[in-house]
Amino acid sequence: MNIVAVRALFAFEMSRWRRTLMQSVISPVLSTSLYFVVFGAAIGSRISEVEGVSYGAFIVPGLIMMLILAQSTANASFGIYFPRFTGTIYEILSAPVSALEIVLGYVGAAATKSVILGLIVLVTASFFVEVRIAHPFWMLAFLLLTSIAFSLLGFIVGLWAEGFEKLQLIPLLIITPLSFLGGTFYSLNMLPPFWKTVTLLNPIVYLISGFRWSFYEISDVSVGVSLLMTLVFLLVCLAVIWLIFKTGYRLKA
């Protein structure tokens, strides 16, 4: 394992992130906080509690998870796409650095950024509502696993995209809508039986449900199923990345 190479890629990505704090940190945190304030105030005035938890506190895990999904994908996709765009990807591929080390550097940095953002939003939310974390270990586990899984997805998107506009295609047209329909602002038990069944086809449901359980011990699906779905998604993304490096898709063209 070339630790020096992994550290160099990781440090470069984190340095680029620090140079754009306004866009990378302040903007997403403010946007998520506005969701919390607007939805918490508008809907919270009509729904006092959801399964014994105040509505304002209930939506906190969903909002954090929605931020994690979007930021993990965006950070990782741009991180690997930019070297492809500038042509420096060939220098990386010709260096004595393995595919695993490249993935560790870029995905590790993207996941780290997302975890930091998630914790910042969690601290910010605690100023507005009383946030209770019943299982801190599992909260961090879901946060970390989800960040890694969607950073891997973003890495795939960054290799697949042919232009900057395609980098936004998956986050805007797939991840964001699925997040809104995945129980971010409501419990599945509030839906009619038919729509509850349809919503269970949304993979984001399992991520949000498991993460919310770590806070309040309430979930729409089994916690074990949530954890399994997260791990399966992570492994599928790893398999796709392995196939990309093995075939040279979008890398050697």
- The answer to whether residue 86 sits within a structural domain is yes
226 pLDDT exceeds 60?
Answer: yes
Summarised one tens digit per residue, pLDDT across range 198-225 is: 888 898 999 999 999 999 999 888 899 9
- The answer to whether residue 253 sits within a structural domain is no
Residues near 149 by beta carbon (within 8 Å), at least 6 away in sequence: 72, 230, 233, 234, 237
| CA-to-CA separations, 249 to 86, 101, 107, 242, in angstroms, rounded | 17, 18, 18, 11
- Is residue 134 within 8 A of residue 217, CB to CB? The reply is yes
- The answer to whether residue 252 sits within a structural domain is no
- The answer to whether residue 82 sits within a structural domain is yes
Domain that holds residue 211: 3-247
Scan for tokens 């009383």, then name that residue: 130
The model's pTM is 0.90
- The answer to whether residue 10 sits within a structural domain is yes
- The answer to whether residue 119 sits within a structural domain is yes
The DSSP annotation for 145-174 comes to HHHHHHHHHHHHHHHH-SSHHHHTHHIIII
Summarised one tens digit per residue, pLDDT across range 15-67 is: 888 777 777 778 887 887 777 777 766 665 666 777 788 888 888 899 999 99
Number of structural domains found in the chain: 1
- The answer to whether residue 11 sits within a structural domain is yes
Summarised one tens digit per residue, pLDDT across range 71-119 is: 899 889 988 888 888 878 888 878 888 888 999 999 999 999 999 999 9
- The answer to whether residue 235 sits within a structural domain is yes
**Single-letter amino acid code for the residue at 56:** G
